Amino acid sequence: MGQRVLLIEDEPNIIEAVSYILSKDGWTVHTHSDGETAMEKVMQGVPDLIILDVMLPGRSGYDILRDLKAQETTADVPVMMLTARGQAKDREMAIDLGATRFMTKPFSNAEVLESVRALATR
């Protein structure tokens, strides 16, 4: 265990909730709340899993996802997208860009945990 999860999300309450449940499940959770500097944060230490919000200040989650897939070091890191826009085209776009999972807010904690576990053990 002890795998590292990077949560990129701008809503403080959501950051707190997700961090809480993942920590309790034994994950090492890092958080980052700005889109523009998100790639730098990733490059500082490539995590085992990235949870990425779509609507971020400075830079959209899709752009960041595109960058992650383009970089050799991060291309294989599984990415779980979170979004408050639950429309079908958002999901399609995320999968097309290479997201491993797509989750619409609001989500249940069980769902999040299950997805994180599934992705990390692959």
Partner 1 sequence: MISFNLLVLVSLAYVAFLFLVAFAAERRAALGKTGWLRSSTIYTLSLSIYCTAWTFYGAVGYAARSGLEYLTIYLGPTLVMIGWWWLVRKLVRIGRTQRLTSIADLISSRYGKSTVLGVMVTVLAIVGTTPYIALQLQSVTQSIGVFAASSGEAWMPRDFNSAAMWVAVGLAVFTVAFGTRNLDAHERHHGIVLAIAVEAMVKLFALLAVGIFVVWGIAGGVGPTLDLIDASAQSQLRPIAGRWIGLIFVSAGAFLCLPRMFQVLVVENSDERALGTAGWAFPAYLLLMSLFVVPIAVVGLDLMPEGANPDLFVVTLPLSEGRQGLAILSFLGGFSSATSMVIVATLALATMVSNHIIVPSWLNARTPGAVVSGDVRRVVVISRRISIGMILAFGYIYFRLSGGGTALAVIGLVSFMGVVQVLPAMIGGVFWRGANRWGAGAGLMVGFTVWAWTSFLPSFGIDAAISHSVFENGPFGIGWLRPQALFGITGLDPFVHALFWSMFLNTTSFMLVSILTFPNPLERLQGAQFVNVFDYSSGARTWSQSAAQAEDLLVMAQRILGGTAAQETFRAEAKSQGKVGFLPDVTPDFIGRLERELAGSVGAATAHAMIGQLTEGTIVSVEDLIAVADETAQIMEYSSELEAKSAEQERTARALLEANEMLTTLSIQKDAFLSQISHELRTPMTSIRSFSDILRDGEVEDDVRKRFAGIIHEESNRLTRLLDDLLDLGVLESGQVQLNLGQGSLADVLDRAVIASGADTGKLKIMRKPANEAVVVNTDLDRLAQVFINLISNAAKYCTSATPQLRIIVREIGGNTVVDFCDNGEGIPNESQSMIFEKFSRLEDEGKAGGAGLGLAICRQIMGALGGDVTYLPGQGGAAFRVTLPQTQALAAQ
112 φ/ψ sector (left φ>0, alpha ψ -120 to 50, else beta): alpha
Q: 38-67 mask for partner 1 (x: CB under 8 A)?
A: -----------------x-xx---------
Among the candidate windows 14-22, 37-45, 61-69, 93-101, which touches partner 1 by CB under 8 A? 14-22
- Minimum Å gap between C-beta 107 and partner 1 is 7
Matching residue, tokens 């449940």: 21
Among the candidate windows 18-26, 43-51, 67-75, 91-99, which touches partner 1 by CB under 8 A? 18-26
Among 67, 109, 117, 120, indicate the residue that binds partner 1 (CB under 8 A): 109
Q: Nearest 10 degrees: CA dihedral of 59, 122, 47, 92?
A: 0
- Minimum Å gap between C-beta 73 and partner 1 is 29
Q: Measured between alpha carbons, how far is 94 from 101 in angstroms, rounded to an integer? A: 8
32, 8 in Cβ contact below 8 A? Answer: yes
Tokens of 110: 């069980």
Matching residue, tokens 């408050």: 84
Residues in contact with partner 1 by the rule CB under 8 A? 10-14, 16-18, 20-21, 24, 55, 57-58, 84-87, 104-110
